[in-house]
Amino acid sequence: MIVKRIRKGAPRKRRSFDEIRTIVNVLSTYVLNASTDRSLMYDGENALAKYVLDTQILAGHPVEVGEKVDLHGTRRLQGSALVGLQRQMLAANLLTPGAVDPIEHYVMSWKSHERPALKEIEDAVDIFAQEMGYQDCQIVWATHSNTKNYHLHLVVNRIDLAKQKVVNPGDGWDIDRLHQVAAIIEDAQGWESETNAIYAASGGEVRERETGEIMRRANGSRAGCATRKLVASEKCHSPENAAVAEAIRSAQSWQELHNRLVKLGATYRTKGSGAQITINDERMKASSFGREFSYGEMTERLGEYAPDPLLERDPYENYLAALREERKRVREAWNQALAKLRERRKRLKKKIFAEKSEYKVIIAAARLELSFDLAEAEVKKAFDRARATIAETKLQRDQWYKVGQPPPKKVKLPEFIFAPNVFRDQAIARDHGLTGGACDYAVEYRNDDGSLAVTDIGVVLIVHQIEENAVAASLAIASTRGDRILVTGSREFLDICRDVAKARGYALVLENGEILHDPTVVDQKAVSSKSANESKSESATTSQQKRDKAKPKSLEKEPPERSVARTSATNFSRFPEPARAAEDEELSDAVRLAAMRGRGKGSGF
C-alpha cells in the first residue's frame, strides 16, 4: 500500500482565516462528496482553482469518472453534517491564529486487488493518527471507490485540541514517518507492500530494509532507535575544494589557518553568529562547506577566533555588525518594557486583593488582566514598528559605499507613561493638535500628517515621538488619572518630561521610586525665597530711611530704577492645572469617576 501527503513539496506558509476557511470547505467537500462542483459553488467559481495552483493540494488526484464516496468518518469532531464539521474545524483554528498551513491532506491507497473492511479502515486511521502525532487533532476521512485503486482520503487539522498548539507531524519527518505508517498497517492487516518500500514491520517493530536498523520498537517506543539526520551535501568533499579542506583540517592555530588559506586564495571569517569561507570569490557558510569546519567546531578546536591581522576588514562588515547591535538594543529594550509592565501588573493585582472587598476582587482582577494583556500587545506592536525601521533603512553594499559609508540610523524607541486605567479624554489631545481614534481597544493619537504620536491603552501611554507636543499631551492625559505620574524611558525623554512638569506643575516619579519632579518642593522653595526677600526689603527700607534723614535736603533724589519684565516660562499647553486628588491613584474606574464628577472643577472633565 501507499501512504502519502498531497502537497507536492509546496512550502508551508501562514494563512489568513479566510484562506483557511476556503481550504477547509474545499477539501472537506471534495473528500466527503467526491466532487468539486459543490465546493466551487460554495466558495466562488475560482476558489478551488486558486487553492490548487497555490499548494497543488489536489494535483494528481482529480475526480475520476464514476468515483464516489464509500465510507466516511471523523476523529475529534461531533455530528455528521458537513457544514457543522467545517465550522468545528474553523473554530479550532481560532486557538492558534496565524498558524502555518494547519490543514493537511493525506491519501492511503491499496493494491487493485485489495479491499479493506470498515474495521480495518478505522484501525488504519487510528494507526495513522497515533504515529503522526494527530491523536488530539480533528480528522475527516472518507474512502473513494469505483476507481482502479480503493483509496482513503484524510483531511487533518493540525491543531492539537488538548495542548492548543500546532502539531509538527512525525517529529518533523512526516514523509519518512508516512513510510513507517504504511509498513505498520501492512504488518497489522496483512496487505502487500510495495517493491521499493523503505521499511518493513514485524510484530509492530519497524526496521529499515537496507540497513536493518530498528526505527520503532514493537511497543511503539522510539527511544534509542535510529533516527534520520538532516545532512546536506558538504562542499569540502568535491575535488576542487579538497586542498582548502585539508588546510583547515591540519591547522593548529588561527594564524596558521589564515597563512595556509591565503596561499590557496581562500579566507575564513566570522559572519553573524557563525563563519563564512570564501574560495575564489565564492562565499559559503562554513557549516555547509563541512560540519567539522563550522564556527562552533573550529573554536572548540583552536580556541577563541582570531582574525587575520594582515587581511583588511571590509568596512561594510562593520556596518552590518552595527545593525546587529541595533537590533539587539531594540530587543533588549522590548524585554525591559515587558518586564516593567508585568511587574506593574503583579503589584496592582496584589494591591487589589489587599484592599478590595471579596465580591469585587474577581471583577477587578479580571479587568486588570485584560487591560495589561492589551497593553502587552500594543507594546509589542510599538517595538515591531521600531524594529521594522532597521530593515527599511538598511543599505546594500554598493549603495552604502555610494552614499559615503554612513553609520546605521539609530532606531527611535517608544517611551512609556504609566497611569491607572480610567476613561480617556480626547479633548486634551486635541488641544495639542492631535486627533484621536479608537483602534483595537486602544486610542491612537496622530499628528496632522497622520504620523502616530501617542497610543493610550489605559494602564500605559506609549509615546512614539519624543517631542514636546506629544510628551505634553501624554502627561496631560496621565495627570487627570492621579497626582503622581510614573514615567520611564531614555534620558532625552525624561528631560522633556521634567521641563513640561516644571511648567505645568506635575509630580513625576521613576520606576525605582525616585522623584523626577516634585512641584510641592518647588513651591516651598518659592515661598521661603519670597519670605526672605520680604525681610530683606523691610530691612533695606528702614536703612534707607535712616540714610535719607542724614542727607542734606539740597541733594536731589536719584530717579528710581526701571523694572524689567521677566520672561514667562514656555507654555506647553492651554489646559488647566491638574487637580490634586485626595484618593489613591490606583482606585477603580468607578470610584475615580465618581470622585471626579463630585469635584466639579479642576480636572477638565
State what percent of residues in the chain have pLDDT above 90: 31
Whether residue 460 is predicted with pLDDT greater than 70 in this model: the reply is yes
Residue-level pLDDT at 150: 92
Residue-level pLDDT at 602: 37
Residue-level pLDDT at 284: 87
- Backbone φ and ψ for 60, nearest 5 degrees, come out as 85, -5
Among 230-234, 416-420, 466-470, 575-579, which is the least confidently predicted range? 575-579
Q: How confident is the model at residue 528 (pLDDT cuts 50, 70, 90)?
A: low
Average pLDDT over every residue of 332-356: 85
Whether residue 500 is predicted with pLDDT greater than 60 in this model: the reply is yes
pLDDT in tens, 117-159: 999 999 999 999 999 999 999 999 999 887 788 999 999 999 9
Whether residue 396 is predicted with pLDDT greater than 80 in this model: the reply is yes
The chain-wide mean pLDDT, for the chain, equals 78
Helices H, strands E: what count in the chain? 18, 21
Average pLDDT over every residue of 251-274: 89
Integer CA distances (angstroms), 209 to 180, 191, 225, 393, 592, in order: 11, 17, 15, 55, 75
Measured CA to CA, the distance from residue 544 to residue 58 in angstroms comes to: 107
C-alpha cell at 294: 563550522
Average pLDDT over every residue of 80-98: 90
Whether residue 360 is predicted with pLDDT greater than 80 in this model: the reply is no
pLDDT in tens, 36-81: 444 333 443 333 333 333 333 333 344 444 567 889 999 999 998 8
pLDDT in tens, 533-544: 555 555 555 555
Among 161-170, 423-432, 443-452, 551-560, which is the least confidently predicted range? 551-560
Residue-level pLDDT at 302: 93
For residues 32 and 97, the answer to whether their CB atoms sit within 8 Å is no
Average pLDDT over every residue of 328-333: 91
Q: How confident is the model at residue 425 (pLDDT cuts 50, 70, 90)?
A: low
Instruction: Give the torsion through C-alpha atoms of 459, 463, 468, 473, to 10 deg.
Output: -40
Name the one residue in this structure whose C-alpha cell is 480610567. Answer: 422
Whether residue 203 is predicted with pLDDT greater than 70 in this model: the reply is yes
Name the range with the highest mean pLDDT among 71-80, 119-128, 234-243, 419-428. 119-128
Residue-level pLDDT at 371: 82
Closest CA to 151 of 197, 182, 179: 182
Residue-level pLDDT at 422: 57
Residue-level pLDDT at 34: 57
Residue-level pLDDT at 125: 97
Residue-level pLDDT at 544: 57
Residue-level pLDDT at 315: 84
In the chain, CATH 3.30.930 covers 2-216
pLDDT in tens, 580-598: 343 344 434 433 433 343 4
Residue-level pLDDT at 556: 42
Residue-level pLDDT at 479: 87
Measured CA to CA, the distance from residue 109 to residue 421 in angstroms comes to: 60
Closest CA to 592 of 458, 426, 393, 496: 458
Please tell me the class of the 2-216 domain. alpha beta
Q: How confident is the model at residue 465 (pLDDT cuts 50, 70, 90)?
A: confident
Residue-level pLDDT at 565: 40
Residue-level pLDDT at 543: 56
Whether residue 321 is predicted with pLDDT greater than 90 in this model: the reply is no
Q: How confident is the model at residue 207 (pLDDT cuts 50, 70, 90)?
A: very high
Higher pLDDT, 53 or 431: 431
C-alpha cell at 121: 479502515
Residue-level pLDDT at 573: 37
Residue-level pLDDT at 512: 84
pLDDT in tens, 475-496: 998 888 878 899 988 899 999 9
Whether residue 551 is predicted with pLDDT greater than 80 in this model: the reply is no
**Strand order in 205-208's β-sheet?**
199-202, 205-208, 214-216
Higher pLDDT, 420 or 370: 370
Residue-level pLDDT at 487: 92
Residue-level pLDDT at 38: 41
Higher pLDDT, 472 or 52: 472
DSSP string, 513-539: S-EEE-HHHHHHHHHHHHHHHHHHHHH
Residue-level pLDDT at 206: 95
Average pLDDT over every residue of 246-275: 90
Please give the sequence-ordered ranges of beta strands (E in DSSP) within 11-145, or none if there are none: 68-75, 103-109, 138-145
Residue-level pLDDT at 204: 93
Higher pLDDT, 18 or 426: 18
Amino acid, res. 354? A
Measured CA to CA, the distance from residue 163 to residue 155 in angstroms comes to: 20
For residues 5 and 178, the answer to whether their CB atoms sit within 8 Å is yes
Whether residue 238 is predicted with pLDDT greater than 70 in this model: the reply is no
Among 288-297, 348-357, 543-552, which is the least confidently predicted range? 543-552
Q: How confident is the model at residue 114 (pLDDT cuts 50, 70, 90)?
A: very high
Residue-level pLDDT at 430: 76
Average pLDDT over every residue of 250-270: 91
Residue-level pLDDT at 24: 87
